[in-house]
Amino acid sequence: MSIKTTEVYSVEEFALKAGITTAHARQLLREKKLKGIKVGRSWKISKTEVNNYLGIQTDIGAIEKEIYIKELEAKVKNFEMQINTFKNLVDTLGNIVGL
């Protein structure tokens, strides 16, 4: 597995970013609740793992899916507005005709 040095965090950097102690970060690594690579005596944690732990989505597919859902929600809202407009139009025509 190849990891670029710019895409990894030390335990200290991860702990600071996650708002936890370094001891807790090391415990997560030992318990395999967080994936990391042991380099000598220190741990390195990939940016992807940090984002996963923090709940940040970095998967392009997931982001595209979220954008698609937002677009569909906007379309539904637009259709609801059109339906309300047609209902008002029908009511107005009904009043004019005297139904």
Alpha-carbon distance of 49 to 35, in angstroms, equals 7
Per residue in 25-69, pLDDT tens? 999 999 999 999 999 999 999 988 998 888 876 667 777 888 899
| Entry pTM | 0.52
Q: Quick one: average pLDDT of 10-15?
A: 95
Q: Does residue 79 sit in the same domain as residue 48?
A: no
* Res. 2 pLDDT band, cuts 50 70 90: low
Q: Does residue 32 sit in the same domain as residue 71?
A: no
Q: Which sign, positive or negative, has the C-alpha torsion 22, 12, 56, 53?
A: negative
Q: Does residue 33 sit in the same domain as residue 63?
A: no
Cβ contact 8:47 at 8 Å: yes
Per residue in 62-71, pLDDT tens? 778 888 999 9
Q: Which sign, positive or negative, has the C-alpha torsion 11, 13, 19, 21?
A: positive
Q: Which domain does 74 fall in, by range?
A: 59-99
Q: Does residue 26 sit in the same domain as residue 64?
A: no
Q: Does residue 71 sit in the same domain as residue 97?
A: yes
Alpha-carbon distance of 43 to 73, in angstroms, equals 43
pLDDT above 90 covers a percentage of the chain that reads 70
Name the one residue in this structure whose structure tokens are 């001891």: 23
Please give the single-letter amino acid code of residue 68: Y
Per residue in 69-94, pLDDT tens? 999 999 999 999 999 999 999 999 99
Say what the pLDDT of residue 96 is.
Answer: 92
Q: Does residue 87 sit in the same domain as residue 64?
A: yes
Q: Does residue 66 sit in the same domain as residue 47?
A: no
Q: Does residue 97 sit in the same domain as residue 66?
A: yes
Domains of the chain: total: 2
